[in-house]
């Protein structure tokens, strides 16, 4: 076991660490050769990758449990619906006892504080929403599948609404603004800054209708999620915020882009922290390839910049996907920890991906990595992380520890009961539909009320949009509140999301 001890020496830590497992050499695990991820290095981000059925989900469960135990809140996307078991203790078995012996783990069954969340009102968890204004034109364009020209037009539409204090809270607000700006009166409002071509507006409106048919209307609106609610602790343990997305598997663009919105919100909301002994929040970005599929160069650059800079806000990000090649090189280079489960090499493309993956690991004389990556068993992974000094650790073929919570779902009824009993349910459970762009624009075309017996009022030249809008007391009140809370014009951040 001398070689295993030599590898483990690179994982020695003086501070707190996440215990991943034990080093394997020649098929034998050394329970005293521990593979660890220093807690202070978690905000240097990471990647969990591997083919379906190789144990990625259990690795996420293992990492989330230990982060929670260390007092670090976590955000996880439960795409397949099998992470809800984090809320309940696991069951002792001969298999868990054997794994504990092999990895030097004092395993015991344990449940963790879980907050169940759902996108919109159609899921089992506490409904969470975002307003159209907050989401911004860049991320919304990704959801709608718009091309660069259409995205530019959508940006112009948002800019016009931002400048005039028109709140875009839900899909009907945005539809009303687009309809106005393509009307004769609306075209004049855009004089000097460009126009909205009817054909482009038609494409955007059709895309909005498709999104609405796919459940987007349930997601966009108020009350909007306050990301600070994701940073809670219970009895010193970090809350595991579990996004139940199994009902949205057929809407990948919506949930993957929403996860990016969450990350952008965290970036805008959290203050600069510098180097911390432990992250403030860790974000697991599951099915990461969905975010990058079809993304423009500009969109990818924004992701890279966000990942690069959010580290200083005390936020760690772990991308989870099948192949490391699913993540662009510019983003991959920012990920300090790598937990690589088995890869398949059945096709020429698989072989190319395997060779590229090997080249992303530090050189090692202990293993033939190309052979190792196709030979890993379930619950085994090739690991390298950053040491406490920020140096990549030796490559370790690792037998991973078993999660202490239940492996699998706790059931839909239990999830609904837990969500209903949550303190966040009272805050986000009921949808709010306050006055916004749709109501304001609808009010300006409503016919004036008059006495049926009296004479019709003398015809006067129709006032312009702004004059008529400002004569409405409700509008004046809204504008005053908008001015006090948002300023004269909404300021937007790196991803075009609203900056508060």
> How buried is 415 (Cβ within 10 angstroms: 0-12 exposed, 13-18 middle, 19+ buried)?
buried
Please determine, for residue 227, whether its predicted confidence score (pLDDT) is greater than 70. yes
User: Are 203 and 232 contained in the same domain?
Assistant: no
User: Residues 303-322: pLDDT tens digits?
Assistant: 999 999 999 999 999 999 98
Does the residue 457 lie in any domain? no
Please determine, for residue 483, whether its predicted confidence score (pLDDT) is greater than 70. no
CB–CB of 65/57 below 8 Å?
no
Q: Cα–Cα distance between 164 and 169 in angstroms, integer?
A: 14
Q: What is the arrangement of strands in the sheet containing 396-400, beginning at the earlier edge strand?
A: 28-38, 17-25, 396-400, 380-384, 337-340, 46-49, 315-321, 281-285, 74-78, 240-244, 114-119, 126-128
User: Are 485 and 339 contained in the same domain?
Assistant: no
User: Are 243 and 340 contained in the same domain?
Assistant: yes
Does the residue 207 lie in any domain? yes
| Per-residue pLDDT band at 395 (split at 50, 70, 90) | very high
Q: Cα–Cα distance between 86 and 88 in angstroms, integer?
A: 6
Residue 308 zone, left/alpha/beta (φ > 0; ψ -120 to 50; rest): alpha
Does the residue 212 lie in any domain? yes
Mean pLDDT, rounded, of the chain: 87
> How buried is 236 (Cβ within 10 angstroms: 0-12 exposed, 13-18 middle, 19+ buried)?
exposed
Does the residue 459 lie in any domain? no
User: Are 241 and 358 contained in the same domain?
Assistant: yes
User: Are 246 and 358 contained in the same domain?
Assistant: yes
pLDDT at residue 493, rounded to an integer: 82
Beta strand segments in 13-90, E = 17-25, 28-38, 46-49, 74-78
CB–CB of 111/407 below 8 Å?
no
Ranked by mean pLDDT, which of 59-68, 78-87, 472-481 comes out on top?
Answer: 59-68
Does the residue 456 lie in any domain? no
Please determine, for residue 62, whether its predicted confidence score (pLDDT) is greater than 90. yes
Q: Cα–Cα distance between 101 and 410 in angstroms, integer?
A: 27
Please determine, for residue 423, whether its predicted confidence score (pLDDT) is greater than 50. yes
CB–CB of 18/379 below 8 Å?
no
User: Are 252 and 262 contained in the same domain?
Assistant: yes
User: Are 226 and 368 contained in the same domain?
Assistant: yes
pLDDT at residue 165, rounded to an integer: 86
Q: Which of 218-222, 225-229, 311-315 has the lowest mean pLDDT?
A: 218-222
206 vs 213, higher pLDDT = 206
Q: Cα–Cα distance between 18 and 142 in angstroms, integer?
A: 35
User: Are 316 and 433 contained in the same domain?
Assistant: no
CA angle 350, 356, 359 (to 5 degrees): 145
Please determine, for residue 448, whether its predicted confidence score (pLDDT) is greater than 80. no
Q: How many domains does the chain have?
A: 2
Please determine, for residue 447, whether its predicted confidence score (pLDDT) is greater than 80. no
Does the residue 307 lie in any domain? yes
pLDDT at residue 163, rounded to an integer: 87
User: Are 437 and 401 contained in the same domain?
Assistant: no
Please determine, for residue 417, whether its predicted confidence score (pLDDT) is greater than 90. yes
User: Residues 172-200: pLDDT tens digits?
Assistant: 999 999 999 988 877 877 766 667 888 99
User: Are 206 and 85 contained in the same domain?
Assistant: no
Does the residue 419 lie in any domain? no
Dihedrals phi, psi of 5, to nearest 5 degrees: -65, -35
Residue-range definition of the domain harbouring residue 179: 132-220+429-445+464-499
User: Are 7 and 27 contained in the same domain?
Assistant: yes
Please determine, for residue 399, whether its predicted confidence score (pLDDT) is greater than 50. yes
Q: 148-163 and 198-213 are packed helices; what angle lies between their axes, rounded to 10 degrees?
A: 90
User: Residues 331-368: pLDDT tens digits?
Assistant: 999 999 999 999 988 888 889 889 989 988 999 999 99
| Per-residue pLDDT band at 466 (split at 50, 70, 90) | very low
Which CATH number do you get for residue 307? 3.40.50.300
User: Are 236 and 186 contained in the same domain?
Assistant: no
Place of tokens 């900056």: 499
Q: Which of 147-151, 296-300, 419-423 has the lowest mean pLDDT?
A: 296-300
Does the residue 372 lie in any domain? yes
């Amino acid at each position: 076991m001398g070689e295993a001890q030599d590898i483990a020496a690179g994982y020695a830590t003086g501070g707190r660490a996440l215990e991943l497992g034990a080093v394997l050499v020649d098929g034998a695990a050394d329970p005293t050769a521990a593979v660890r991820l220093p807690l202070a290095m978690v905000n240097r981000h990471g990647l969990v990758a591997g083919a379906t059925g190789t144990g990625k989900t259990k690795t996420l469960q293992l990492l989330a449990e230990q982060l929670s135990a260390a007092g670090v809140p976590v955000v996880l996307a439960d795409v397949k619906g099998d992470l809800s078991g984090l809320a309940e203790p696991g069951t002792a078995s001969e298999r868990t006892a054997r794994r504990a012996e092999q990895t030097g783990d004092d395993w015991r069954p344990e449940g963790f504080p879980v907050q169940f969340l759902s996108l919109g009102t159609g899921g089992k968890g506490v409904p969470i929403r975002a307003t159209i204004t907050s989401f911004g034109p860049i991320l919304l364009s990704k959801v709608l599948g718009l091309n660069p020209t259409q995205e530019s037009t959508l940006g112009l539409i948002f800019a016009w609404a931002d400048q005039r204090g028109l709140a875009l809270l839900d899909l009907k607000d945005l539809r009303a603004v687009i309809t106005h700006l393509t009307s004769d009166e609306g075209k004049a409002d855009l004089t000097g800054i460009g126009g909205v071509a009817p054909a482009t507006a038609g494409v955007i409106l059709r895309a909005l209708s498709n999104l609405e048919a796919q459940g987007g209307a349930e997601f966009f609106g108020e009350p909007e999620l306050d990301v600070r609610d994701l940073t809670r602790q219970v009895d010193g343990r970090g809350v595991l915020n579990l996004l139940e997305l199994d009902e949205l598997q057929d809407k990948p663009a919506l949930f993957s882009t929403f996860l990016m919105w969450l990350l952008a919100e965290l970036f805008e909301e959290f203050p600069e922290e510098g180097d911390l002994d432990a992250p403030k929040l860790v974000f697991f970005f599951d099915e990461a390839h969905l975010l990058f599929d079809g993304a423009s160069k500009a969109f990818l650059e924004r992701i890279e910049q966000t990942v690069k800079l959010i580290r200083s806000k005390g936020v760690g990000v772990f991308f989870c996907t099948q192949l490391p090649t699913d993540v662009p090189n510019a983003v991959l280079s920012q990920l300090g920890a790598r937990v690589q489960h088995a890869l398949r090499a059945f096709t020429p493309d698989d072989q190319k991906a395997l060779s590229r993956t090997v080249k992303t690991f530090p050189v090692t004389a202990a293993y033939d990595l190309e052979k190792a990556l196709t030979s890993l068993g379930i619950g085994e992974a090739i690991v390298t992380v950053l040491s406490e000094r920020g140096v990549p650790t030796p490559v370790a073929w690792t037998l991973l520890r078993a999660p202490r919570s239940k492996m699998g779902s706790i059931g839909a009824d239990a999830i609904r009961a837990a969500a209903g009993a949550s303190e966040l349910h009272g805050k986000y459970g009921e949808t709010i539909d306050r006055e916004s762009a749709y109501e304001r624009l609808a009010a300006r075309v409503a016919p004036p009320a008059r006495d049926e017996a009296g004479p019709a009022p003398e015809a006067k030249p129709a006032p312009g949009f702004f004059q008529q809008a400002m004569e409405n007391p409700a509008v004046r009140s809204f504008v005053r509140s908008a001015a006090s809370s948002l300023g004269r014009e909404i300021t937007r951040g790196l991803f075009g999301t609203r900056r508060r």
